[in-house]
Structure 1
Amino acid sequence: MAHITPVLLCGGSGTRLWPLSRKSYPKQFVPLMGKETLFQASARRLHGQELGPDGELGFAPPLVLTNSDFRFIVTEQLGLAGIDPGAVLIEPEGRNTAPAILAAASHLAASDPEALMLVAPSDHVVPETAAFHAAIARGLGPVREGRLVTFGIHPDRPETGYGYLELDAPVADGAPQALLRFVEKPDANRAEAMLASGNFLWNAGIFMARAADMVSAFRAHAPEIFAPVEAALAAARTDLGFLRLDPEAWAQAPDISIDYAVMEKAENLSVVPFSGEWSDLGGWDAVWRESGPDEDGIVTSHGATAIDCRNTLLRSESDRLEIVGIGLDNIMAIATGDAVLVADMSRAQDVKKAVEALKAKEAPQATAFPKDHRPWGWFESLVVGGRFQVKRIMVHPGAALSLQSHHHRSEHWIVVEGTARVTVDDKVTLVTENQSVYVPLGAVHRMENPGKVPMVLIEVQTGAYVGEDDILRYEDVYARN
């Protein structure tokens, strides 16, 4: 049996799915296509033993590459999915896929040069898991011969939002084939011609190789990446079970994709065609398509109503907000608690322009949600005034906020679910439902959940400044600076 280590890349921001996907909580961690998040579905798809058509596949715990802000989200979501993580490598900053994949390959090769690795984005939709495992199994032969394998998707339409792979012959039925070249995202006419030729596949951005072969490819074709990444690994430090790559060395690595850095130059590349369903959910038009429109082309979420509409996506992400469309055609409308997107479906790839425009006017909705996820749970702002703020805070069982104080605000906590252990200076008390506690300005305080169920409280802040940067931490179990 081949034991393969999945390498899950989950550091992207997914701006084309704004307002549901934002920099502070991107699409891979959002339940876009069901109850599970895309990240959880990706991890589950590459999990288990005795898989593949002949039981020849087995997956090791996943190796995850992410950034510091998402490290606890990664472990929390894997835990909820019942999957034990392997190594979690923390990228000090985003440098695109090439440095990330090399870091994963070098980390694996250090303990086992023959280790098999399967690199996959964590935000794709692949409903047919068994068919995907069969494609992986077909790629094992070339990998064992020292080749790098990429996976191409049978195109079913002249898509202009994907890159393509050109093969040296018409696409065969699943057998590995030689790659002629990578093709950038085409215009509509070129996409039509490539679809008609039968020699092209969509580039899925999924790769498989032996760890040592991947490292050798970088050493041969991208030495400018190899040196800084190796230095970042050599100087990496362990932090609460995570491996933090050295920021100074990492900053010297070029910001470049693996396609440009290595794959377009490598001569030992094979392509495995995959004819099953696949989507990178690269825009709301893809979400509409993958959600299964009805006979009128309508997709609605709970809290959305379509009247006399055609080819329309209506989606509400707030229990307190109903969205209604009347007489719409080819329209997508997505509403969250603090933002609404309305656009023609044909402009799905332009949603990132909305994010750029909001950033230019310094609107917080460009990057941040009202609900802010933290290692201990989450909080959301309910009301913000000139000298006050009201929050709802949820703390996971056994979790604790940092021991901290504030220069500009006092706080009043009212527990509405569960029990809180509250420290205020030298006093520690248990605060149960319908009880409250006052934290004076300047007091050193901490909130913990000692129970076995989530604890929820309402926090009322008052003072001259209620920003999140008015926190002086003394102790923190999550080692945040």
Structure 2
Amino acid sequence: MIHPVLLCGGSGTRLWPLSRKSYPKQFARLIGDESLFQASARRLSGEGFAPPLIVTGDPFRFIVTEQLAQVEMGAKGILIEPEGRNTAPAVLAAALCLAAEDKGALMLIAPSDQVIPDDGAFRAAVQAAAPRALAGDLVTFGIAPTRAETGYGYLELAPGADVEAATPQPLARFVEKPDASKAQEMLTAGTYLWNAGIFLCTAKAAIAAYETHAPEMLEAVGASLASAARDLGFTRLGSESWERAENTSIDFAIMEKASNLAVMPFGAGWSDLGGWDAVWLESAPDADGNVCSERATAIGCEDTLLRSESPDLELVGIGLSDIIAIAMNDAVLVAHKSESQRVKEAVAALKARGASQAVQLPRDYRPWGWYESLALGGRFQVKRIVVNPGASLSLQSHHHRSEHWVVVEGTARVTVNDEVSLLAENQSIYIPLGAVHRMENPGKLPMVMIEVQTGSYLGEDDIVRYEDVYART
């Protein structure tokens, strides 16, 4: 049995404005109708695969469970990192967790933000690599390169290895992201593969590698797991010990130092969607090289990506060549395709200016559903709130604002102090300043409400929670 370990704690700044710190790229629908996380979970499922073990951050824990439920999947467990410290501590926490049940557990470590079009071919490659991993080796997956790519790390195969083999091959070394000339040299040499960041090994072999090459991390992460707490089905790793773990990748901490390495070549298609140019490439451009979303139109354009992410916004490109244009309600990106890797510079510049668009989507996802701001003034705000069937907001009050709720779809059960009301469509209720209140959706369909806030302060931190089914504080 193979135990998938899905890592989904990254921020994905290179795909801004669709991917932001509050809702990174693995949860977005960039290619097709599913998120990258959902597609990854599906890929690593079926015969021979156990339910996935997920490692993520606190802000994403309910997004993970909701997106898994949407594709009718469950998780073996969800580990919550106190803070993101790159992949090395995350992988070790998963290995220790699996080893507690079975030291010989075969773990497939994979990012949750990659595109692999041929799921069957990838599962077959994993099965082909399994005997080598069960024998104690650390097997990494290498992708057959199709271009001189500077955005990926590389794997150099040992002399005599076959880059097209259907079984794991000996690995000479890891190579950092190259410049353009070096990338071309490696492509021409034909003995290099892209580093996919996917690994197959037993929990025992992984822990042994940490014992040899990163003992301090093993101590810190082990203590963090020992002090972990259960919370609504999640496992919260202990924060004090976790802070002692070095912030580094598994490549640097373990793989570049280990001697029991092998590489499994894979040539059936792969992308880590590391920039909008990769999204364009993986989205099947038309005869003119254009990719347009439903609300985008290209006139006289070539090799261009046009995406409108708002149902109320039409994006039109005229006479464009090699341009990326991404339009959202609160932010627009326009860039030459060759400069797409510089998007993270734009995010850094917005952060320096204090612009909320750098990290926060206009739609804020919560465990009960989501909301978005429709209008904001000095002493008022209008929100659209969508509450999932059976979900409930916390019992709360506010010091600085009153609220007026109007149900526009579905049914709401509303508590105001000691009074409970059932509101149907086109009914409303007023929540006075300081009143203890709660909103619930008792129905079978999503409930949509318009909220009008008025007061001297409208920040989200003006919430006093008394009860919360999601254990937020």
Selected match of 1:242 from 234, 245, 255: 234
Selected match of 2:380 from 388, 408, 418: 388
Alignment of 1:103-122 (within 5 A): 103-122=93-112
What residue number does 1:453 align with? 445
User: CA offset at residue 224 of structure 1?
Assistant: 1.8
Selected match of 1:315 from 307, 316, 323: 307
User: CA offset at residue 311 of structure 1?
Assistant: 1.0
Distance in 2 (alpha carbons) for counterparts of 1:32 and 1:18: 12
What residue number does 1:15 align with? 13
What residue number does 2:29 align with? 31
Distance in 2 (alpha carbons) for counterparts of 1:142 and 1:34: 34
User: CA offset at residue 91 of structure 1?
Assistant: 0.2
Selected match of 2:213 from 192, 204, 221: 221
- Alignment length, in residue pairs? 471
Distance in 2 (alpha carbons) for counterparts of 1:367 and 1:350: 16
What residue number does 1:52 align with? none
Deviations 1:352-388 (A, max 9, x none): 0010000000001000011100000000000000000
Does the residue aligned with 1:134 lie in a helix, a strand or coil? helix
Query: Is 1:439 aligned to 2:403, yes or no?
Result: no
Alignment of 1:39-188 (within 5 A): 39-49=37-47, 58-169=48-159, 170-188=162-180
Distance in 2 (alpha carbons) for counterparts of 1:127 and 1:66: 24
Alignment of 1:330-341 (within 5 A): 330-341=322-333
Does the residue aligned with 2:83 lie in a helix, a strand or coil? coil
Selected match of 1:473 from 456, 465, 469: 465
User: CA offset at residue 175 of structure 1?
Assistant: 2.4
Distance in 2 (alpha carbons) for counterparts of 1:46 and 1:263: 22
Distance in 1 (alpha carbons) for counterparts of 2:323 and 2:30: 18
Selected match of 2:2 from 4, 14, 19: 4
Query: TM-score scaled to structure 1, two decimals?
Result: 0.97
User: CA offset at residue 228 of structure 1?
Assistant: 0.5
Distance in 2 (alpha carbons) for counterparts of 1:204 and 1:69: 26
What residue number does 1:464 align with? 456
Distance in 1 (alpha carbons) for counterparts of 2:28 and 2:129: 30
Letter in 2 for 1:357: A
Q: Structure 2 unaligned runs (5+)?
A: none
User: CA offset at residue 165 of structure 1?
Assistant: 0.3
Distance in 2 (alpha carbons) for counterparts of 1:222 and 1:415: 56
What residue number does 1:54 align with? none
User: CA offset at residue 85 of structure 1?
Assistant: 1.1
Distance in 2 (alpha carbons) for counterparts of 1:144 and 1:255: 29
User: CA offset at residue 174 of structure 1?
Assistant: 2.5
Q: Structure 1 unaligned runs (5+)?
A: 50-57
Alignment of 1:298-313 (within 5 A): 298-313=290-305
Distance in 1 (alpha carbons) for counterparts of 2:103 and 2:298: 56
Name the Cα RMSD after superposition: 0.7
Letter in 2 for 1:166: E
Distance in 1 (alpha carbons) for counterparts of 2:76 and 2:415: 35
Query: Is 1:376 aligned to 2:386, yes or no?
Result: no
What residue number does 1:291 align with? 283
Query: TM-score scaled to structure 2, two decimals?
Result: 0.99
Distance in 2 (alpha carbons) for counterparts of 1:325 and 1:451: 43
Does the residue aligned with 2:375 lie in a helix, a strand or coil? strand
Runs (4+) off by over 4 Å: none
Distance in 1 (alpha carbons) for counterparts of 2:445 and 2:167: 51
